[in-house]
Amino acid sequence: MTNVRPVFSQRKAAIVVGVAIVAMFFMAIIVDNFILSNFIGPGDETALAGDIEASQVRFGFAVAGYLIILMLDLAIALALYVILKPVGKILASLTAGFRLLYTVIMVIGVFLLLVHLIDVHSYGNIKLLGYLFFTAHILVLGYSVLKSGYIPKGLGILLIIAFFCYIVLLYGQSIVPEQLPPIFVVPAAIAELLLGIWLLWKGGKVSRVRKIDVSA
């Protein structure tokens, strides 16, 4: 019987994830640091409301930029399923599913804010809900990387550390109001970026792995 190559191979999926993560990283910096602070990540919602009120043009650019980022998130979710499917369908589905839920929630939040159906503080609550699924995605992704055998375990460990850092960054300030140490930002900021760079650099290695448990 002739072997049929899948339309979307693991190598192609690795390239998609790598390009999307790297592009998303720099776009997020531009949107959240140079266009509209606190629009992407949780932050000072009162300051964000003032910035939106002061400049609708910047708000429009931020919305457009963030929607592009969320489309990249969608591509990452689908491609990660292809990359992680050899580890196990359940883990691959959870990784992709949590990221898809995050993306859908964020798109809904941006749309509702854009059409003035919610205020900025409600938008902030929606972001926190979305990031709850994103942090779950990071944890499952880290565990899947550790189990894979074809992606460096160091990246999996860094992703799991990033999961705990995200928990502290997103929800720690409600418990400890003081400014959190910058050390919590580092793993959260670079874990996915390093995974994306590795997939771009060594993406072909992923395509050579044998399926070890597709029924898991």
Domain range annotation of the chain: 10-204
Please give the full DSSP string across 26-87, using - where no structure is assigned: HHHHHIIIII-TTSSSS--HHHHHHHHHH-HHHHHHHHHHHHHHHHHHHHHHHHHHHHHTTT
Alpha-carbon distance of 206 to 104, in angstroms, equals 28
Alpha-carbon distance of 204 to 183, in angstroms, equals 33
Residues present in the chain in total: 216
Token pair of 153, please?
A: 């375990």
pLDDT at 189: 82
Where do runs of H (alpha helix) occur along the chain?
Answer: 10-30, 45-54, 56-84, 89-114, 120-148, 153-171, 185-206
pTM of the model: 0.87
How open is the CA angle 80-83-85, to the nearest 5 degrees? 100
- Calculate what percentage of the chain has a pLDDT beyond 70: 84
Count of CA atoms in the C-beta half-sphere (13 A) of 92: 19
pLDDT at 95: 97
pLDDT at 9: 82
Q: What is the mean pLDDT of residues 75-101?
A: 95
More confident residue, 64 or 212: 64
Query: Mind listing the pLDDT tens digit for each residue in 149-177?
Result: 889 999 999 999 999 988 888 777 655 54
Contacts with 103 (C-beta within 8 Å, 6 or more apart), sequence order: 70, 73, 74, 77
pLDDT at 62: 97
